[in-house]
A and B are shown apart, each in its own frame.
Chain A
Amino acid sequence: MFKNIENYKLDIDNSFKENYKLYNNSLNKKVGNISFRVLPPSDVSFYQELNLCNYNFDIDNDIKKYTNDLINLLDKSYSERSEIDDNMIPAVFPILGIGDYSAFVAGNIIFQPETSWGEHVLKNIDDWKNLPPLGTSPWYKKFLNISEELIKKSYKQGIPYMRGFFSPLDLAHALRGEDIYYDFYDEPIKLHELLNFCADATIKFAEDIYALVEKYYKNTKYGMWYTKNQINMSEDIACMISGDTYREFCRPHTQRVINHFGTGYMHCHSRAMYLVKEICDLDNVVHLWLATDPNQTRPIDNIEQLVKDSNSVVVAIDCERFEEIEENYEKMKNGNFSICLPVSSVEEGIEMVNRFNKLVSSK
């Protein structure tokens, strides 16, 4: 089970304070903020250790077993890195692959040990009109049950609950499959209707999850850190379309979801560096996690362009060597960045954080 959140960081209040400052400055268009995180193996090993095929999520006892196993793995991970004083904030979150990101609307989840897929349930673009009402699908209820069980086991220790969502386009793609790429040309009006439905679905699902979070966490110090006035969304499928298409089809619907909650914490891939400007130009986006794709341009090699395109939004990127941070530090100060450096051990992580702090104080 979890320990109190204070046990997982050297100074948890300061960690929250630094993060708050970073995002508040981003919202107020103040640049020059560079935040740092290391990624020891223990930060990701729990994804491999949790075998999703081991659980039957239909049964209460099984959900209890799943949530216990997950929390134990997260506790182990956070405990191992508790001496690392970087910007990472511990959180509790369901790990179900990505199938649940669309199955909450309709369809089953196909589980594999480390991931999952949702079914493409919309054979025709209009089929969303025939789906059962939002909130009535089996996985909608299951997901809320799993989340409540996780929250019950975490809120007293002050571990914030975190949940990301598909953007309207990502959700539409998950429900519709690859046919959606033809819809841009064949059924533009109906595609807008589908994306509008997906925005509604995301808003309702997130509202129901957030209500659950508020029920348990409202009197905790940091429990609503990842949910209050914000929405986390991926724009993965946008990497397959042009900036013009994004503006025409995605922007209005993604913006509506962000507006509903207040601020947007977005995710995209370096495959689509050209989309950074489009996403960061959305109103009230404060964070963009730009994951580095293999065989593609690396964000760390394009800091000047990212500064120009990011409009003071915090761009979270990774690098391979600490020297890359040193080489790009002055350029990064013209924007807002959160840098992640993979390390081979906790000891190396501690060393890199010290090195980063020295770099900051020397500038």
Chain B
Amino acid sequence: MILEDISTLLQKGKAKEVKVLVQDALDQGYEAKIILNEGLINGMSVIGQKFRKNEVFVPEVLVAARAMNFGLEILRPALVLQGNKCKGKALICTVQGDLHDIGKNLVKMMIEGKGVEVIDLGVDASPEAVEEAIKQHKPNVLCLSALLTTTMMNQKVIINHLENKGLRSSVKIMVGGAPLTEKFAKEIGADAYAPDAATASDIALKLIEG
């Protein structure tokens, strides 16, 4: 019951209440992994499905993701203590020349909602910055966002740069953004294309799990 309540309150964006209930669940002896999967991740999955169907919108996703982070703050020490690991690691950015970040942020939150650690390089990310971050963080997946037709080609620039630096095979690459298509993603050598944030999180997990 308490896990359902966590999921429901998370979907409503009730961050403080989620935090309290996660602590209550831990106090009642629930395993951290169970609280994460059946409470927090379950709630974010519902939000993701509703977002895909235009039943909830950007503000609702953002406050739900914030509630998830409030819950994770409480849960994280217990997860570590109980030997749980993240499902994987993703590196995300909006490519050079593009300052739009709402799409990137939504994808980040949805992927985090799947129990994946996400390193966020922010907007206007250069190929060199991505290269450095891959060397430092060794992510399983690289997520590249672009909103403008004038910047989407910079996704290809980054992919080419990683090839030249011998890093391409070390990471799966997913691309997204309003003007993109599956065909474009294939043409520039990406491993996957995601049309929306919820799908992106599903694909990221598949790429991580191989």
Contact = CB atoms under 8 A, between A and B. Distances in A.
Interface in B45-104: 54, 56-60, 62-63, 66, 97, 99, 101-102
A245 interface: yes
A245 B102 contact: no
Given A178-B101, A182-B66, A185-B13, A241 B180 contact: no
A240 interface: yes
Contacts of B122: none
Contacts of B97: 112
A148 interface: no
B150 A240 contact: no
A182 B102 contact: no
B178 interface: yes
A293 interface: yes
A245 B57 CA distance: 10
Interface string A222-253: 00000000000000000011100100000000
B101 A242 contact: no
B179 A294 contact: yes
B57 A182 contact: no
B160 interface: no
Nearest to B58: A240
Given A184-B59, A245-B57, A178 B102 contact: yes
Interface footprint category on B = 20 to 34
Contacts of B180: 294-295
Contacts of A185: 13, 59, 63
B58 A241 contact: yes
Contact of A241 (B59, B63, B99, B195): B59
A274 interface: yes
Interface string A104-119: 0000001010110100
A181 interface: yes
A245 B148 CA distance: 27
Interface of A: 110, 112, 114-115, 117, 178, 181-182, 184-185, 240-242, 245, 271, 274, 293-295
Interface of B: 13, 54, 56-60, 62-63, 66, 97, 99, 101-102, 105, 148, 150, 178-181, 195
5 contacts: A117-B99, A182-B66, A184-B59, A241-B57, A242-B60
